[in-house]
């Protein structure tokens, strides 16, 4: 085949518009439009760095590597100058010299893109004259290398909302590049740990670090005097602990409150001169004379005391079960090593909404929310969909399917999704329903919402009436096609010959209304082939979460100690995932077309053919 004919064929391929050359041309106009829409001047013109977008040639090697790395490709195609205007209100014109906001953002982005979870190690690389040159060049860093504290202050200055704004600007870019359609959204959350250690109490609060306990000094003195009177029993070196009941009112009635350890010590022989701490402790509890008589001292083992009131002998203490991160909560998930067991994670939950592009075989994040634990994860579909509606209002109307697992099986989620014109494909949470055979027959429909005919046979779906919001089920006179043994079993319970529905074309008919069963009855019948086919797409959100943990390692034991930092990390994780997946797709497509031009290999042609989309899904998402 002549080369010209091959070129014409390639130009007709829908994947052609996702090669580096085509993406680069489209981004020229997109970058200009974004710059024109972000014109707020930056108040402080005294910069320690100077980011300027520069269009650079992106070379992709035959083995799939990008010359000078993915960071170079990202900064060579996307202009991040809009960040300067977006965060301008966070700075003052009277402040000291500052780093250009795009510079700090890009350096933070680079370390995650290239797998440097530890900022100190990345900064060592950045300071290296040769190895750090590419990062400094693309971020606009001149002589002043920022330290870890600079990045920490920058993240806190921007906060979760501005990082979310940056994320949605990037989502809009890939929407304009036709890589995101919003037709199918998959929702899922992933737990990740905080840097703090869980210390055994689930009901802690901010007041747990200043608990006042009365008459502690008197109680400790009595314990010491009692022990001194019992020295003959040989219990000198045993540990003495003072406990107090937890004063918190957050515990449920059926949960027993724990006892808090205030002070732990033991009496020991005084070897030589006493330390100042030992002297002061004895004076505090008023037992200095008694201890001197026996040549003993107080050896403090543990103490939760933070303040002492000498007037009434009370003490203020911080509960030893209070973790460093008081925002984190316990979340429960299935153990990856043993699905039959549950695993508790003390930390946060990143709830990610992924746009599944079945015609391109890619999945890109389009909304993200961060919460503590996963108790409220089921309500986050509405939060994420509101994000999409706020930032991409025109595209939000194109959402046709929302897919989620049983955690999101809440009535308000169904009502919200249907109100915006989408179809909820959410796993049904059976909770405590009685699903025995007799219980299902008594209520008239099975666990999937399919009704039983009077003869006891299960009806089959016969379409959804959008006007009346109901599913129609018919028996289709299955009894006439039963084998002898099955027919006899039905006949024993119901006289088929007297069935009034046999004369109907579809037999017995029953309507199941969405209003009566908003969670169970769906536009696409549960258990149908179409439903199961769509349900399989949900794994896209699970793959996205797995990429954040196992491939990019952003959520693998991150160093965060409060909800604010965790929320910022969640937004950054979504940004990295979006850029990483989108540009890897561009690289893969470019390599395939390059090889096709060179070899005309039939296997490559097959890979570049648009994937076959089942008509049952194609009709729902209305792809052109």
- For the stretch 285-318, pLDDT in tens is 888 888 888 888 888 888 888 888 877 778 888 8
Determine the Cα–Cα distance for residues 545 and 539; give it in Å rounded to an integer.
10
Nearest to 576 by CA among 336, 352, 331, 394: 352
Q: What is the mean pLDDT of residues 521-527?
A: 93
DSSP E strands in 516-595: the ranges are none
Determine the Cα–Cα distance for residues 379 and 414; give it in Å rounded to an integer.
11
340-357 per-residue burial string, b: 16 or more CB within 10 A, e: under 16: eeeeebbbbbbbbbbbbb
Determine the Cα–Cα distance for residues 620 and 537; give it in Å rounded to an integer.
14
Nearest to 520 by CA among 608, 421, 406: 406
Residue showing tokens 């349900």: 535
The two three-digit tokens of residue 290, written as one number: 């008694």
What's the pLDDT score for residue 179?
Answer: 94
Backbone φ and ψ of 503, nearest 5°: -75, -20
What's the pLDDT score for residue 234?
Answer: 66
DSSP one-letter code for 445: B
Q: What is the pLDDT of residues 118-138, one digit of tens each?
A: 899 999 999 998 889 999 999
> What sign does the CA torsion over 439, 443, 447, 452 have?
positive
The overall longest dimension of the chain from CA atoms, in Å, is 108
Q: CA neighbours within 13 Å on the CB side: how many for 236? A: 11
Q: What is the mean pLDDT of residues 80-87?
A: 95
Bridge-based pairing state of the strands 423-426 and 460-465: unpaired
Determine the Cα–Cα distance for residues 142 and 128; give it in Å rounded to an integer.
13
pTM score, two decimals?
0.89
Q: Check whether 360 has a pLDDT greater than 60.
A: yes
**Do residues 395 and 402 make contact, with C-beta atoms less than 8 angstroms apart?**
no
Q: What is the mean pLDDT of residues 605-616?
A: 83
Question: Residue 423 — pLDDT band, cuts 50, 70, 90?
Answer: very high
Domain boundaries along the sequence of the chain: 3-180+563-621, 206-317
Average pLDDT, the chain: 88
Determine the Cα–Cα distance for residues 398 and 176; give it in Å rounded to an integer.
14
Determine the Cα–Cα distance for residues 365 and 363; give it in Å rounded to an integer.
7
Which of 158-172, 179-193, 380-394, 479-493 shows the lowest per-residue confidence on average (mean pLDDT)? Answer: 479-493
304: left (phi over 0), alpha (psi -120 to 50) or beta: alpha
Which of 253-262, 343-352, 519-528 shows the lowest per-residue confidence on average (mean pLDDT)? Answer: 253-262
CA distances from 412 to 147, 182, 184 (A): 46, 21, 20
- Concatenated DSSP letters of 104-133: HHHHHHHHHHTT--SHHHHHHHHHSTTTTH
Radius of gyration of the chain (CA): 33
Nearest to 385 by CA among 413, 358, 361, 357: 413
Determine the Cα–Cα distance for residues 205 and 187; give it in Å rounded to an integer.
30
Give the helix ranges, DSSP H, for 114-206: 119-127, 133-139, 148-176
Q: What is the pLDDT of residues 10-46, one digit of tens each?
A: 445 788 899 999 999 999 999 999 999 999 999 988 8
Q: CA neighbours within 13 Å on the CB side: how many for 475? A: 26
What's the pLDDT score for residue 12?
Answer: 58
DSSP E strands in 304-400: the ranges are 305-309, 314-317, 329-334, 342-357, 362-372
Determine the Cα–Cα distance for residues 405 and 427; give it in Å rounded to an integer.
5
The two three-digit tokens of residue 517, written as one number: 């069963």
Q: What is the pLDDT of residues 319-358, one digit of tens each?
A: 888 888 888 999 988 887 888 888 899 999 999 999 999 9
Q: What is the mean pLDDT of residues 178-190?
A: 93
Q: What is the mean pLDDT of residues 53-68?
A: 87
Determine the Cα–Cα distance for residues 210 and 399; give it in Å rounded to an integer.
50
Q: What is the pLDDT of residues 583-595, one digit of tens each?
A: 999 999 999 988 8
Determine the Cα–Cα distance for residues 316 and 100; give it in Å rounded to an integer.
46
Question: Residue 7 — pLDDT band, cuts 50, 70, 90?
Answer: very low
**Angle value at C-alpha 293, between 287 and 295, nearest 5 degrees:** 95
**Do residues 142 and 49 make contact, with C-beta atoms less than 8 angstroms apart?**
yes
């Amino acid at each position: 085949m002549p080369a010209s004919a091959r070129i014409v064929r390639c130009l007709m391929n829908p994947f052609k518009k996702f090669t580096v050359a085509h993406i680069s041309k489209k981004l020229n106009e997109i970058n200009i439009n974004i710059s024109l829409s972000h014109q707020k001047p930056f108040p402080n013109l005294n910069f320690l760095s100077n980011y300027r977008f520069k269009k650079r040639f992106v070379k992709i090697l035959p083995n799939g590597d990008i010359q000078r790395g993915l960071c170079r490709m990202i900064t060579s195609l996307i202009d991040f100058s809009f960040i300067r205007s977006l965060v301008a209100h966070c700075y003052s014109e009277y402040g000291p010299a500052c780093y250009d906001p795009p510079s700090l953002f890009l350096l933070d982005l680079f370390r995650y893109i290239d797998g440097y979870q530890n900022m100190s190690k990345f900064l060592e690389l950045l300071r290296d004259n040769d190895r750090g040159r590419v990062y400094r060049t693309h971020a606009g860093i001149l002589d002043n290398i920022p330290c870890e504290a600079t990045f920490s202050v920058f993240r806190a200055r921007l906060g979760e909302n501005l990082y979310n704004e940056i994320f949605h600007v990037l989502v809009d870019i890939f929407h304009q590049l036709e890589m995101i359609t919003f037709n199918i959204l998959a929702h899922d959350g992933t737990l990740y740990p905080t840097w703090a250690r869980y210390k055994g109490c689930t009901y802690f609060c901010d007041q747990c670090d200043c608990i006042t306990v009365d008459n502690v000094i008197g109680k400790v003195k009595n314990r010491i005097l009692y022990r001194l009177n019992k020295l003959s029993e040989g219990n000198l070196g045993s540990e003495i602990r003072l406990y107090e009941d937890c004063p918190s009112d957050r515990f449920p009635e059926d949960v027993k409150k724990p006892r808090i350890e205030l002070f732990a010590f033991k009496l020991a022989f005084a070897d030589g001169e006493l330390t100042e701490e030992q002297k002061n402790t004895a004076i505090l509890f008023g037992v200095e004379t008694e201890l001197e008589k026996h040549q003993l001292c107080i050896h403090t083992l543990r103490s939760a005391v933070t303040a002492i009131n000498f007037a009434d002998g009370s003490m203020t203490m911080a509960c030893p079960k209070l973790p460093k991160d008081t925002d984190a909560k316990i979340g429960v998930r299935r153990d990856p090593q043993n699905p039959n067991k549950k695993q508790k994670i003390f930390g946060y939950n990143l709830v990610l909404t992924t746009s599944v592009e079945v015609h391109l075989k890619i999945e890109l994040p389009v909304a993200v929310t961060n919460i503590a634990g996963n108790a409220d994860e089921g309500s986050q579909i509405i939060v994420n969909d509101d994000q999409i509606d706020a930032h991409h209002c025109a595209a939000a109307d194109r959402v046709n399917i929302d897919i989620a697992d049983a955690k999101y099986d809440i009535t308000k989620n169904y009502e919200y999704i249907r109100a915006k014109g989408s179809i909820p494909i959410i796993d049904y949470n059976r909770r405590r329903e009685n699903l025995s055979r007799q219980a299902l027959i008594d209520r008239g429909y099975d666990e999937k919402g399919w009704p039983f005919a009077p003869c006891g046979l299960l009806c089959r779906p016969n379409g959804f009436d959008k006007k009346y919001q109901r599913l129609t089920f018919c028996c289709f006179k299955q009894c006439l096609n039963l084998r002898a043994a099955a027919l006899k079993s039905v006949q024993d319970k119901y006289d088929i010959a007297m069935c009034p529905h046999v004369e109907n074309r579809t037999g017995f008919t029953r309507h199941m209304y969405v209003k009566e069963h908003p969670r169970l009855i769906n536009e696409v019948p549960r258990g149908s082939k179409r439903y199961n086919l769509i349900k399989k797409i949900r794994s896209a959100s699970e793959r996205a979460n797995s990429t954040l943990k196992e491939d990019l390692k952003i959520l693998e034991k991150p160093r965060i100690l409060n909800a604010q930092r965790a929320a910022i990390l969640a937004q950054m994780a979504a940004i990295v995932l979006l850029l990483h997946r989108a540009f890897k797709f561009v690289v893969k497509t470019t390599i395939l077309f390059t090889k096709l031009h060179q070899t005309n290999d039939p296997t490559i042609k097959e890979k570049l053919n648009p994937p076959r989309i089942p008509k049952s899904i194609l009709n729902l998402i209305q792809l052109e």
